[in-house]
Structure 1
Amino acid sequence: MKTFCCERCQTRVFFENTSCDVCKARLGFIPAELTLGSFDEDESGDWLRVTGTAAFRRCANHVAPVHCNWMVGAGEAEPLCLSCRTTKVRPQLAKAENHGYWRSIEAAKRQLAYSLASWRLPFPSKAEDARHGVAFALMEQTDPEKKVLTGHDNGLITLNIAEADDAQRERVRAQMREPYRTLLGHLRHEIGHYYWDRLIRDTPNIGKFREMFGDERADYGKALKQHYSAPKADWQTSFVSAYASSHPWEDWAECWAHYMHLQDGLETATSWGLQLDHAVPGGTTVRAEVIAADATDVQAKVIRHWLPVSQFINAMSRSLGGRDSYPFTMPDAVLDKLAFIHDVIGAGVRGDNPMNFTPRPAPQAAIATQTIESTAA
């Protein structure tokens, strides 16, 4: 995540902020610019940017409980922002706690959408691309006999809203003996499945994928059953997590999530000017650096830049009484998989390899996205 400053008074502000504490300017994130704009509100309720550039209006979800701070172009017919319009099913709001869960999930999804936009990866809603778009169903489990499982199916990402409950998520993490479980991590993993369909399925990348991750045509249900009954004992030699060893699709999604982790972490560290003078005793100074889209030595850059930063973050977390924020190791096989994901994203964005998206028609009035409330599961 980049650092941001108020466009009026240059005070540091943050991605989630809706107003500047110093000059009281209204703040709104502008996806096309990947920046927080500063605005004044006139008597008619219009938002006027202090820089005098194009007019914007707030996402329709700026109100409670979501409090979205993203902006929409004043001329757009779509009332929701780039991120909010991907929500197809929202939690039932009759329960007070669901308000907070929805707000937390949308906040995490905006961070996800920021990263995808910064890489210039298409992130269309189902309303924009019915065949190849993405939609989120935020579901509550109300019947113990009917489980709501977080997962991906042909562009539809279902998320059990209990994952937004910190205490519940921690209980599940402990029960599953997972070293790491976060709301944003879930979204990064599931969006990895979505981009497998967009970047790997039926493309020239499929052969290389099978060489590195294995043949995804292996029975998925059988593979998961085998994993939960008897996980691979030596998974640490080739996988970033035990779950990644269950099936090639899960290996890809876990590596995709970790690629997003490290790139977002490096962007934050770089934006703050993080420099580690003692990353390696007696070694040279390490300065945080994002892995550029055209980098050809990804494995070396992960070792040179991300590993020292992650070690520093873990040391800080321990000193503050917390667990390691990044409790993972990366064998050579995982470094190679991360490099492959980096190359696939770059080739797709540059147009060197095809991506599975429906070509956009000529500009026309957008169809307003319909968001429905989830029913009892």
Structure 2
Amino acid sequence: MKIFECGHCFHPLYFENSSCEKCGNHVGFSVKDLDLKSFDSPFPSLEINDEKGKFTYCGNYKFGVCNWLIPQDENSEFCLACSLNRTIPDLSDQENFEKWKKLESAKHRLVYQLLKLGLLNTKNSTEKPISLMFDFIAKQGNDKINTGHQNGLITILLSEADSVHREYMRKQMSEQYRTLIGHFRHEVGHYYWDQLIAGQEENLQEFRRIFGDEQLDYGQALNSHYQNGAPQNWQQSFISQYATAHPWEDWAETWAHYLHIMDMSETAFYFGVTVNPRIKDESVKGKIPTDPYEINGFDEIYETWAPVSFAINSLNRGMGIPDAYPFVVSPVVLEKMKFIHQLISQ
């Protein structure tokens, strides 16, 4: 993600800030500008003098989970990100509330990235409504409820916001990585398969060439994966063991990792991260030259990101914590990511 700054004192801000920690001015995220706006008037009037604009905070601002802005003339209760919620938990339960806050933080970062990629419209009168929705719920003894996607509805279990439970599930599933943002990026990948591949013959044929035939029985494929595990040497063609289960899961896993790499690259660019190690091998030298969302070819993005990822992993190991990106991107997986990048660019 990019670095934000206060429009009054230029103090750096996090994406989630609703006020500047240095000067105290209120700030809010503008979907139109994909930036944090600083206000010239105190809350609740929220005016920006140079733009002669008046705004309100999203209705979820009062819960401390959203700092997104709504132009006053739109007369909406919720911002774009929060309007995608179909179900949220009972907020009178403090444990549920704390978990929901974590889910909203990850979801808002996802929506920001989808907007950067041009994959979400802003739901105005000239565009069709967004079909993407979210349910944040607990199992409550119903084993049929799981994190997943169906026809544009993404369900995320509240338990995934519990770091202890998430680590337990990571070990149970033999995963290298399990995070909330990872779940969001994976599940939204299924949604965009429907948007970008299904019913589009040229894209579908290319998908089948690269990922395989999605007509393979999905239920049987998953059962086989859970019973037998991933095939030997899966790393040569897949980004994760779960990606081997079915072409749809391969797509969703690869999609998620594509978004991981784009986000890390944008952050590295805005921080001016340059990797110039004191070794002879120049393959681990790198610098993100520009905002990756403005780069046409994914090869360039990957080649400049890989050294940054290696450096970040090395820093993590020095602190005794897991690699930030504990995966190897093989040439086959890179081709899959290039296909995704090409689809989005079109």
TM-score by length of 2: 0.93
Once the two structures are TM-superposed, the CA of residue 279 in structure 1 deviates from its matched residue by 7.8
* Larger relative contact order, structure 1 or 2 (CA cutoff 8 Å, min sep 6): 1
Question: Hey, what does 1:81 align to over in structure 2?
Answer: 79
Equivalent residue, structure 2, for 1:159: 156
Paired position in structure 2 for 1:172? 169
SS in 1 for 2:310: helix
Counterpart Cα distance in 2 of 1:63 and 1:254: 35
**Structure 2 contact 91–97 (Cα < 8 Å) conserved:** yes
Q: Any stretches of 5+ residues in structure 1 without a counterpart?
A: 348-377
- The 5-angstrom pairing of residues 246-265 of structure 1 reads 246-265=245-264
Counterpart of 1:206 in structure 2 is 204
Could you say what secondary structure the match of 2:39 adopts?
strand
Please state whether the residue corresponding to 1:159 is helix, strand or coil. Answer: strand
Q: Where does residue 218 of structure 1 map in the other structure? A: 216
Give CA-to-partner distance per residue, 1:140-192, whole Å, 9 cap, x none: 1111x534211000000011110011111111111211100000000000011
Secondary structure (helix, strand or coil) at the match of 1:75 reads helix
The whole-number CA distance in structure 2 between the counterparts of 1:340 and 1:258 is 13
Indicate conservation of the 8 Å contact 1:216/1:248, yes or no.
yes
Q: Percent identity?
A: 40
Task: Give the distance between the partners of 1:61 and 1:121, measured in 2 at CA.
Answer: 24
State the alpha-carbon separation in 1 of the partners of residues 280 and 145 from structure 2.
Answer: 49
Q: CA deviation at 1:218?
A: 0.8
Q: Confirm or deny: 8 A CA contact 1:87 1:136 kept in the other structure.
A: yes
Shift of 1:129: 5.0
Shift in Å at residue 53 of structure 1? 4.1
Matched, 1:181 2:182: no
Q: For 1:301-330, what per-residue CA distance to the aligned partner results, in whole angstroms no more than 9, with x for missing partners?
A: 41x212111111111111122111111001
In the alignment, the residues of structure 2 paired with residue 279 and residue 53 of structure 1 have an alpha-carbon distance, to the nearest angstrom, of 52
Q: Corresponding residue for 1:68?
A: 66
1:6 offset after TM fit, Å?
A: 0.3
Q: Which one has the bigger helix percentage?
A: 2
Describe the superposition over 1:316-362 as per-residue Cα deviations: whole angstroms up to 9, x where unpaired. Answer: 11112211111100111100000000000011xxxxxxxxxxxxxxx
Aligned equivalents of 1:321, 1:47: Cα separation in 2: 44
- 2:115 counterpart of 1:112: no
- Cα distance in 1 between the residues matched to 2:269 and 2:300: 17
Deviation at 1:7, TM superposition (A): 0.3
Kindly report the root-mean-square deviation, in angstroms, between the aligned alpha carbons of the 2 structures.
Answer: 2.0
Length-normalised TM-score, structure 1: 0.86
Matches within 5 A, 1:219-238: 219-231=217-229, 232-238=231-237
Q: Give the equivalent residue in structure 1 for 2:336.
A: 337
**Quick one: distance in 2 between partners of 1:186 and 1:263?**
16
CA contact (8 A) 1:294 1:346 kept: no
Once residues 32 and 301 of structure 2 are traced to their aligned partners in structure 1, the CA distance between those partners, rounded to angstroms, is 28
One-letter identity of the residue aligned with 1:328: F
Report the counterpart of residue 11 of structure 2 in structure 1.
11
Gap runs ≥5 in structure 2: none
How much has 1:300 moved relative to structure 2? 5.0
Q: SS at 1:345's partner residue?
A: helix
Aligned to 1:240: 239
CA contact (8 A) 1:7 1:51 kept: no
The 5-angstrom pairing of residues 1-377 of structure 1 reads: 1-42=1-42, 45-49=44-48, 51-64=50-63, 66-122=64-120, 133-143=131-141, 145-203=142-200, 204-231=202-229, 232-278=231-277, 281-283=280-282, 285-289=285-289, 290-293=291-294, 295-296=296-297, 298-299=298-299, 301-302=301-302, 304-347=303-346
Other structure's SS at 2:67 match: coil
Residue correspondences, number: 340
CA distance in 1 between partners of 2:294 and 2:338 (Å): 11
Amino acid at match of 1:342: H
Distance 1:237 1:82 in 2: 39
Q: Deviations over 1:188-246 (max 9, x none)?
A: 00011001111111113111001000111110000000111112222111000000011
1: CA distance, partners of 2:238 / 2:105 = 30
